[in-house]
């Protein structure tokens, strides 16, 4: 990914989406741009038009955090988009060290493996920023078996969603899930601009999937922290699950996820059934 182009396209897309009337500005047929003009963004940010134009050309080097915050407010960026803007500015600094990521050979720490296995009442798994499932507990493996066993796509959630036709049945809300995974990857890519594995993955997805390419061009960004996920499991049927994500500070490239179901719900009963199935099979293993 070209960093300057990434910055330019992100800022331009956020500027274009704002309806002038939202800010009390006069719209009408005389406007030649769909959203705000550059001078309007510059005025709201408190910088000169020339300075903002430089930023929108992709040059964020030396831009202060205060100016970035003012720009985020001017463009009405949400929390995830604001963080992405700061990540893009940080990537413009040549002194920024690349993020170290754990290799497959290093594997999962024994203490982290024990923590994962200690979660017995809920599906739990660890995945990296490239959406590859690294490890699971037994219930997590049973729940996400279609992804984990998809060896052609390397147990990678994004590849499964965009390359495997079974994904549309497994995720009944496929369009929403696809939007979310692309926006999440966009945020991760901004945090790790020198991660070759991430760049290679995005290049593969853009090249092989028109659905991904269309979504990637929107420059949407989101945090993947919590929410509701609907799954149609091949063994136990329809599930509606809440999920929570936890950072792993000792392994900043990895995240721990867990699903829970509302007490007394059909989903809870089906999870218990899935747990019985998982207990009769092999334990969750690292992928």
More confident residue, 225 or 23: 225
Same topology, domains 3-91 and 110-279? Answer is no
CATH number of 110-279: 3.30.450.180
Tell me: pLDDT of 252 over 70: yes
Closest by CA to 179, choosing from 224, 237, 133, is 224
Domain spans, the chain: 3-91, 110-279
In the predicted model, what is the mean pLDDT of residues 250-271? 93
Q: Which residues contact 225 (CB under 8 A, 6 or more apart)?
A: 244, 245
CB 278, CB 142: distance < 8 Å: yes
Q: How far apart are CA 167 and CA 161, in angstroms?
A: 5
**Residue 3: predicted pLDDT:** 81
Q: Which residues contact 130 (CB under 8 A, 6 or more apart)?
A: 156, 158, 185, 188, 195, 197, 198, 201
The whole-model pTM stands at: 0.77
**Residue 174: predicted pLDDT:** 97
Q: pLDDT tens digit string along 60-113?
A: 888 888 999 999 988 989 888 988 998 888 876 655 544 555 544 457 889 999
More confident residue, 220 or 287: 220
Q: How far apart are CA 38 and CA 36, in angstroms?
A: 6
DSSP state of 153: G
Q: What is the CATH topology of the domain spanning 3-91? A: 434 Repressor (Amino-terminal Domain) (1.10.260)
**Residue 6: predicted pLDDT:** 85
**Residue 287: predicted pLDDT:** 37
More confident residue, 282 or 202: 202
């Amino acid at each position: 990914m070209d960093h300057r182009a990434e910055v330019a396209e992100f800022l331009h897309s956020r500027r274009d989406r704002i309806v002038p009337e939202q800010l009390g500005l006069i719209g009408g047929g005389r406007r030649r741009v769909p959203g705000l003009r550059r001078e309007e963004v510059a005025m709201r940010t408190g910088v000169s038009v020339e300075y903002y134009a430089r930023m929108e050309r992709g040059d964020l080097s030396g831009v202060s955090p205060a100016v970035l915050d003012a720009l985020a407010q001017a463009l009405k960026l949400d929390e995830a988009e604001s963080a992405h803007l700061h990540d893009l500015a940080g990537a413009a600094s040549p002194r920024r060290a690349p993020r170290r990521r754990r290799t497959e050979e290093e594997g999962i720490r024994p203490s982290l493996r024990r923590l994962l296995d200690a979660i017995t009442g809920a599906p739990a798994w660890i995945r990296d920023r490239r959406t590859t499932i690294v490890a699971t507990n037994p219930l997590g493996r049973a729940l996400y078996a279609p992804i984990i066993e998809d060896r052609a796509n390397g147990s990678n959630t994004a590849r499964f969603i965009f390359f495997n036709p079974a994904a549309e049945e497994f995720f009944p809300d496929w369009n929403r899930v696809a939007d979310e995974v692309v926006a999440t990857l966009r945020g991760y890519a901004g945090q790790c601009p020198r991660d070759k594995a991430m760049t290679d993955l995005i290049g593969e997805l853009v090249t092989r999937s028109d659905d991904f390419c269309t979504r990637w061009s929107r420059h949407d960004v989101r945090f993947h922290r919590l929410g509701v996920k609907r799954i149609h499991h091949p063994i136990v049927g329809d599930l509606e699950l809440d999920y929570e994500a936890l950072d792993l500070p000792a392994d900043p490239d990895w995240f721990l996820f867990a699903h829970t179901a509302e007490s007394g719900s059909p989903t809870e009963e089906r999870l218990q059934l899935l747990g019985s199935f998982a207990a009769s099979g092999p334990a969750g293993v690292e992928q």
